[in-house]
Amino acid sequence: MTKLSTALALSAACLPGAALATDAPDPSDWQAVLDAAEGQTVYWHAWGGSTATNDFIAWTGDRVEERFGVTVEHVKLADTADSVTRVLSEKQAGEDADGAVDLIWLNGPNFAQMKEADLLWGPFAEQLPNWQYVDTEDKTVRTDFTVPTEGFEAPWAMAQVVFMYDTDDMDGALGSAEEILDWSAANPGRFTYPQPPDFLGTTFLKQVLIDITDDNEVLSQPVSEADYDAIVDPLWAYLDELTPTLWRDGRAYPATGPAQLQLMADDEIDLAISFSPGEASTAIADNRLPPAVRTFVLDDGTLGNASFVAIPYNSGSKAGAMALANYLMSPEAQVHAQDPDVLGYGTVLDMDKLSDEDRAAFEALDLGVATLSPDELGEVQPEPHPSWMTRISEEWTARYGTGQ
């Protein structure tokens, strides 16, 4: 267990029930929410490692300010855990009002930790007006790494693992983790992945584990000491073979997804992982990747999940945060995010629930030369329980992360 996990678990044992809506309008009374939101400033803590993402957040902030009088300040994060720790510290110090974080872009492990420790405000998400358009048949909009969101998170983007490859240097797609290993052995130095605990690097570990594990159902449960070694030993055996074939002999790794992308742009590697089916097309469009790059998924499917935003229990701008979360689910924001010239993210909306005009806006999008169609993306594999991500990331660092 990480230090943050331990602290949150101890905190959770000491705290009363879930944070309740005591200082913000009921989200079901939307006009009251908008009245209270006007003039508020929302400090949105979100990953700041991508220029395209930062630009989208700035665009969203402009729209929310124009329409609702809410100012959005993007607090750029290198690690979401830093903001989680900030909220926890405020809780322990009794700073229960006007905290530093008003909205936070969470991933599964951090959501599970904040939910367990009662650091989130709500539930609010399913009472927002634009929830009516969300594709609720897709269970990923109501679970975050197997943990039920229960209205404490609002989905705003869909993601699925794809592999980007340079067709000038590779003959075609690879269908499994084993085929990736074979290709890397035959083409040493031409593949790598971001260094865990970077989210994308850990995603590669999970993707391999899912692809080589016979019973993926066990991954939906918390890590069990009794069966952990038996389940992950094939992963370490796989990585023991793969690592010496990687870029720089597996002795160094790109720090982030954008750094990995730069290696492909510089023709240092031919194969890379992405968690956005539209990322390659977006990068080609703005000259960050060569035009020959295309994408593929594995034969048995790849990991997929939703991106969420949540409101800390002690935000002083809960109404403004709800206005922002609601706008992120709007057809206007969703079609803008799906544009490969912007982000190329998948939408959380159900096309059958939209007006003809809004649906036409999605249909008019050119998703880009490297973006697979929904049918081509195939089966989405569910995320493992967040405890797997934490455990295998820590063990990877001990085994491979200190240099060979």
From the CB of residue 329, how many other CB atoms can be counted at a distance below 10 Å? 25
247 and 390 part of one domain: yes
Residues 98 and 175 in one domain: no
Same domain for 196 and 275, yes or no, is: yes
In a domain, 393, yes or no: yes
Q: Which residues of 187-216 are buried (b: 16+ CB within 10 A; e: fewer)?
A: eeebbbbbbbbbbbbbbbbbbbbbbebeee
DSSP E strands in 100-227: the ranges are: 103-106, 143-144, 147-148, 154-160, 162-166
The answer to whether residues 231 and 171 belong to one domain is: yes
Q: Does the pLDDT at position 19 exceed 70?
A: no
Is 42 within a domain?
Answer: yes
pLDDT at position 371: 94
Examine the domain organization and report whether 166 and 287 are in the same domain.
yes
Range of the domain at 52: 3-156+306-367
375 in a domain, yes or no?
A: no
For 56-65, what is the mean pLDDT? 98
**Alpha carbon distance 269, 247 (integer Å):** 7
Q: For residue 378, what pLDDT band results from cuts at 50, 70 and 90?
A: confident
Same structural domain for residues 241 and 271? yes
DSSP state of 250: G
> Long-range contacts of range 29-33, CB-CB < 8 Å, 24 or more positions apart?
30/128, 30/129, 33/319, 33/322, 33/323
Residue 137 lies in a domain: yes
Residue 152: CB atoms within 10 A of its CB come to 25
Residue-wise pLDDT for 144-189, tens only, equals 988 899 999 999 999 999 999 999 999 999 999 999 999 999 999 9
Residue-wise DSSP of 306-370: EEEEE-BTT-S-HHHHHHHHHHHTSHHHHHHHHSTTTT-PBP-B-GGGS-HHHHHHHHT----TT
Q: Are residues 23 and 126 in the same domain?
A: yes
For the stretch 292-342, pLDDT in tens is: 999 999 999 999 999 999 999 999 999 999 999 999 999 999 999 999 888
**Residue 312 falls inside a structural domain:** yes
The answer to whether residue 374 sits within a structural domain is no
Shared domain check, 236 and 340? no
Pair 129, 168 in one domain: no
The average confidence (pLDDT) of the chain is: 91
Do residues 285 and 395 share a domain?
yes
Domain presence at residue 73 = yes
CATH number at 56 reads: 3.40.190.10
Count structural domains, the chain.
Answer: 2
Residue type, 219: L
Stated as kind and residue range, the H or E segment containing 238 is: helix 228-242
Judge if 23 and 134 occupy the same domain. yes
Based on the fold, state whether residues 37 and 151 are members of the same structural domain: yes
Going by pLDDT thresholds of 50, 70 and 90, the confidence category of residue 1 is very low
Is residue 95 one of the residues assigned to a domain? Answer: yes
In the chain, the amino acid numbered 214 is D
